[in-house]
Amino acid sequence: MANHAAGDGGIPPRNVAKDGLTRVMTLGGHYGLRNHTVRGLRDHKGKKVLCETLPFTPDEAAAAEEAGIDTMKVRFDPKQPHLAKAIRDAAPKTFMAFSVPLVAAATEDEAVRLAYTAMELGADAIMCQWSPRFISAAAEAGVPVQGHAGLVPRKSTWTGGLKAVGKNVEEALWVYQEIKTIEDAGAYAVEVEVVPEELLNEISKRTTLLTSSIGGGKGGDIQFLFAEDILGNNPPPYPRHSKQYRKIYELQEAIQKERVGGFKDFIQDVQDGVFPGKGHVIKAAETLVDDFLKEIE
Q: Is 193 a catalytic residue?
A: yes
Q: Over the Cα atoms of the chain, what is R_g?
A: 26
Q: Note down pLDDT in tens along the chain; length 297 residues.
A: 344 443 444 544 455 456 899 999 999 898 999 999 999 999 999 999 999 999 999 999 999 999 999 999 999 999 999 999 999 999 999 999 999 999 999 999 999 999 999 999 999 999 999 999 999 999 999 999 999 999 999 999 999 999 999 999 999 999 999 999 999 999 999 999 999 999 999 999 999 999 999 999 999 999 999 999 999 999 999 999 999 999 999 999 999 999 999 999 999 999 999 999 999 999 999 999 999 999 998
Exactly one of 65, 171, 193, 228 is catalytic; which is it?
A: 193
Are 118 and 232 in the same domain? yes
Output phi, psi for 61, to 5 deg. Answer: -65, -45
pLDDT of residue 14: 55
pLDDT of residue 19: 84
Does the residue 85 lie in any domain? yes
Does the residue 30 lie in any domain? no
Are 271 and 133 in the same domain? no
Print the domain residue range for 156: 35-246
Which of 245, 235, 155 is closest to 194 using CA atoms? 155
Are 235 and 277 in the same domain? no
Are 280 and 155 in the same domain? no
Task: Give every CB contact of residue 215 below 8 A, 6+ residues apart in sequence.
Answer: 150, 151, 164, 193, 194, 195, 239, 240, 241
CATH of the domain at 46: 3.20.20.60
Does the residue 19 lie in any domain? no
Are 146 and 292 in the same domain? no
Does the residue 96 lie in any domain? yes
